Amino acid sequence: MKKSALSAALLLLPTLILAGWALWLPIPRADDPGLRIRLLGFDPRDLLRGHYLLARLDIHDLPPGRFGPDDCVCLFDRPQDPGRPGFTPLPSCAAAILKTCPLPLSDPGRELRLYQSQEMAQALENWLAGGKRIVDIDVRFDGKGGIALQDIRVDGQTPDSGR
């Protein structure tokens, strides 16, 4: 009896750890505020690390290299240029300051790594050659400077829609 209870506990422990870890991950929620933001700096052929789309968020007037991991900005929508939000630098990334901003973002100049399937990476490479396509992504803000990314689009359509 003790042996079977110990075996059950040993089997249950990894499951509980995995469930706790999954619940701790930032999950985009429908009620999190969001924006569709264009992407810059494409390289879907990073074969050594898998098929990733390497990109940065296209934030209007954000100079490259100006912000680091301890810097936070407050983004705002610019109706005259959809997909390219404006920003206001925040004095710090303290929780009290981030709460004053509806769309806070920490380290806005960071490089994003978006995994794509092999077929999708090749298609993105073909579509983006020459830079004549608009690629954007839905960015959800968690209110603490973090973001969740979902629903990449090329010219307003999902890349796998069979163009």
At residue 19, the 3 state secondary structure works out as helix
Cα angle 117-38-127, degrees, rounded to a multiple of 5: 50
Q: Which ranges in the chain belong to alpha helices (H)?
A: 2-24, 95-98, 118-128
**CA atoms of 158 and 152, how far apart (whole Å):** 6
pLDDT score for 4: 81
CA–CA dist 77, 33 (Å, integer): 12
Global pTM?
Answer: 0.71
User: So what's the pLDDT on residue 80?
Assistant: 94
Q: Return the pLDDT at 67.
A: 60
Average pLDDT, 10 consecutive residues per value, the chain (163 residues): 76 79 62 84 57 81 68 92 92 91 90 77 68 84 88 81 53
CB 140 within 8 A of CB 34: yes
Strand ranges of the sheet holding 112-115, from the earlier edge strand across to the other edge: 112-115, 52-57, 34-40, 135-141, 147-154
The rounded distance, in Å, linking the Cα atoms of 34 and 47 is 31
Residues near 99 by Cβ (< 8 Å), separated by ≥ 6? 143
Burial (Cβ within 10 Å: 0-12, 13-18, ≥19) of residue 125:
middle
